[in-house]
Structure 1
């Protein structure tokens, strides 16, 4: 029994450093994602202008050629990405396939934020529980320095993990709202756009 306890203690102590390193990596990644969200927010006006132009053309009965011409003016957001996919696949003939690919890319992008929302608090909890063992040992032996240093690590890991979870959850909600609205509009507009008349 004593051997098992020592083995579990060794495993727990060995996992602490990778856990704290993973939390720091997630902090850096979250900062990058936050910068990307800010950049997207700044580009929302241009995305809105392109989608408004597409809607206007759709109401006027424009065909796919005209709609694709308007789409080519997009420089950011899902309209720009759809235009890139159409260029890669060879034009309007693969429009339905490109819309599916765009939907898959959106789901993949959002899944990374969902993963962070779930994994960050777990890492924070691990970073909290692991140092509690040495902290209790320090308390039992009267070593207040060991107790305080381990408690600082434990509570800091909790705060950072929960903060990361909150940030990633908020970014996920904001992006999901943007992407679902834009993707739904693009699918509706191009699904109902008339094909150019044959000569």
Structure 2
């Protein structure tokens, strides 16, 4: 290998640990969000009051217009959206980085090193795909819930002036 190839391989190797740490954090976040989602789904299915972040936002910011409430909706789901899209990419990165050393180990006949490197590679992609799956499912349903809440808020907000006119 020439200097440029060795340098690129060394730089790529430096990213393995940070990527694995980020994937672990994403997995913890996805698991946490899945638990929150499960609790909210249970409360909704039992007919209990569900968490309504947009209604809370509008109560705290009565001067807010529809665009500001929609922006708040996007803020609510953005972390889920980012994890569901970035986790698979980082999983691929964490899979490819150990493949170089694993292939070098195959060439040298060191099958213990091959097994070690492939274990890291496959574990990383599994964690990444699980994280993405959990957050995508949560994102999809939570987005619908938030849009339903937004629709109800806009309906009630538009009905308020009418109620005032009828009272007058």
Partner of residue 168 from structure 1, selected from 135, 155, 161? 135
- 1:77-97 deviations in Å (ceiling 9; x for gaps): 22x6525642x34x6xx3xx2
Q: How far apart, CA to CA, are the structure 2 residues paired with 1:99 and 1:40? A: 25
User: Contact 1:114–1:172 at 8 Å: present in 2 too?
Assistant: yes
- State the SS of the aligned residue for 1:77: coil
- State the SS of the aligned residue for 2:164: coil
Is 1:5 the equivalent of 2:5? yes
User: Contact 2:34–2:138 at 8 Å: present in 1 too?
Assistant: yes
- For 2:21, the equivalent position in structure 1 comes to 21
> Which aligned segments of 4 or more residues in structure 1 are displaced greater than 3 angstroms?
98-102
TM-score, with length taken from structure 1: 0.74
TM-score, with length taken from structure 2: 0.87
Partner of residue 182 from structure 1, selected from 149, 152, 155? 149
Q: How far apart, CA to CA, are the structure 1 residues paired with 2:12 and 2:72? A: 38
- For 2:117, the equivalent position in structure 1 comes to 150
Return the index of the structure with the highest Cα Rg: 1
Q: How far apart, CA to CA, are the structure 2 residues paired with 1:180 and 1:85? A: 14
Q: Structure 1 residue 189: deviation in Å?
A: 2.4
Structure 2 gaps, min length 5: none
- For 1:34, the equivalent position in structure 2 comes to 34
Q: Structure 1 residue 2: deviation in Å?
A: 0.7
Count the aligned residue pairs. 163
Q: How far apart, CA to CA, are the structure 2 residues paired with 1:104 and 1:157? A: 33
Which one is further off, 100-109 or 155-164?
A: 100-109
- For 2:55, the equivalent position in structure 1 comes to 82
RMSD, aligned CA = 2.0
Which one is further off, 159-168 or 188-197?
A: 188-197
